[in-house]
Chains A and B, each alone.
Chain A
Amino acid sequence: MSMPQEHDYIGLSEPLPSEKSSDKTTAAAAASNVERNGVFSLKETELRLGLPGSEAPERKGGVGIGIGIGIGVSLFGKDESKCVKSGAKRGFSDAINGAGKWGLSINGGSEVDLGQKGGVNVSAVKREIPPLEERKNEAAAAANTAPASKAQVVGWPPIRSFRKNTLATNTPKKDDVGGNSGTGTSCLYVKVSMDGAPYLRKIDLKTYCSYTEISSALEKMFSCFTIGQCGQGLAAKENISESHLMDLLHGSEYVLTYEDKDGDWMLVGDVPWEMFTDSCRRLRIMKGSDAIGLAPRTMQKCKSQN
Chain B
Amino acid sequence: MAYSFPEEVLELVLSFLRSDRDRNAVSLVCWSWYEIERWCRHRLFIGNCYAVSPEIVIRRFPEVRAVEMKGKPHFADFNLVPEGWGGYVQPWIRAMAASYPSLEEIRLKRMVVTDESLDLIARSFKYFKVLVLSSCEGFTTDGLASIAANCRNLREIDLRESEVEDLSGHWLSHFPDNCTSLVSLNMSCLGSEVSFPALERLVGRCPSLRTLQLNRAVPLEKLPNLLHRAPQLVEFGTGAYSAEIRPDIYSNVAEAFSVCKQLRGLSGFWDVVPAYIPAMYSACAGITSLDLIYAAIQSPDLVKLISLCPRLQCLWVLDYIEDAGLEALAASCKDLQELRVFPSDPFEAEANVALTEQGLVSVSEGCPKLQSVLYFCRQMSNAALITIARNRPEMVRFRLCIIEPQAPDYLTLEPLDTGFGAIVENCKQLRRLSMSGLLTDRVFEYIGKHAKKLEMLSIAFAGDSDMGLDHVLSGCDSLRKLEIRDCPFGDKALLANAAKLETMRSLWMSSCLVSYGACKLLAQKMPRLNVEVIDERGHPNSRPETCPVEKLYIYRTVAGRRVDMPDFIWTMDKDAGNPEAFVSNGAVEMVGDA
Interface residues, chain A, with chain B CB atoms under 8 Å away: 51, 85-86, 89, 101-104, 106-107, 110-111, 113-114, 116-117, 119-126, 129, 132, 135-136, 139, 146-150, 152-164, 166-167, 170-172, 174, 177, 179-180, 182-183, 186-187, 189, 191, 198-202, 224, 229-233
Contacts and interface: CB of A to CB of B under 8 A. Distances in A.
Nearest to A131: B413
Contacts of A152: 347
A131 to B, nearest CB: 10
A230 B567 contact: yes
Contacts of B348: 149, 182-183, 186
Interface size class on chain B is 35 or more
A139 B296 CA distance: 33
B82 A158 contact: no
A81 to B, nearest CB: 16
Query: For A116, A158, A179, which residue has the most chain B Cβ atoms within 10 angstroms?
Result: A158
B344 A120 contact: no
B77 interface: yes
A305 B537 CA distance: 43
Interface stretch (B140-148, B201-209, B380-388, B541-549): B541-549
B405 A160 contact: no
Contacts of A167: 294, 344
A232 B539 CA distance: 12
Given A102-B488, A102-B513, A117-B537, A107 B546 contact: yes
Contact of B296 (A113, A147, A171): A171
B546 A110 contact: yes
Interface string B383-411: 00000000000000000010111101000
12 contacts: A86-B406, A89-B406, A103-B490, A104-B490, A107-B546, A122-B486, A129-B440, A132-B412, A148-B349, A159-B342, A171-B344, A198-B566
A155 B79 contact: yes
Interface of A is mostly: loop
Given A116-B537, A155-B79, A201-B83, A177 B352 contact: yes
B465 interface: yes
B91 interface: no
B80 A110 contact: no
Contact of B413 (A121, A132, A157): A132
A160 B77 contact: yes
B567 A160 contact: no
B135 interface: yes
Interface of B: 75, 77-80, 82-84, 135, 161, 163, 189, 270-271, 293-294, 296, 298, 342-350, 352-353, 376, 401, 403-406, 408, 412-415, 434, 440, 458, 460-461, 463-467, 485-492, 511-513, 515, 535-539, 543-544, 546-548, 550, 566-568
B343 A159 contact: yes
Nearest to A261: B191
Contacts of B487: 124
A133 to B, nearest CB: 10
A89 B406 CA distance: 10
Given A107-B544, A122-B548, A157-B401, A198 B84 contact: yes
A158 B270 contact: no
A86 B405 contact: yes
A51 B79 contact: no
Contacts of B350: 180, 182
B78 A155 contact: yes
B530 to A, nearest CB: 18
B79 A157 contact: no
A-B complex: 4 closest residue pairs judged by Cβ atoms: A199-B84, A186-B347, A103-B465, A155-B78
Nearest to A162: B161
B135 A177 contact: no
Contact of A160 (B78, B353, B434, B486): B78
Nearest to B298: A177
A139 B486 contact: no
A121 B490 contact: no
A162 B349 contact: no
A180 B415 CA distance: 29
B466 A159 contact: no
A120 B79 contact: no
Contacts of B352: 174, 177, 179-180, 182
A201 B413 CA distance: 40
Contacts of B294: 166-167, 170
Given A114-B548, A158-B434, 17 more contacts: A85-B405, A101-B464, A101-B465, A102-B488, A110-B544, A119-B535, A126-B465, A150-B349, A156-B78, A158-B458, A159-B78, A163-B342, A164-B346, A170-B294, A198-B567, A200-B84, A230-B568
Interface core residue of B80, B271, B413 (most chain A CB under 10 Å): B413
B270 A170 contact: yes
Contacts of A86: 405-406, 461, 486
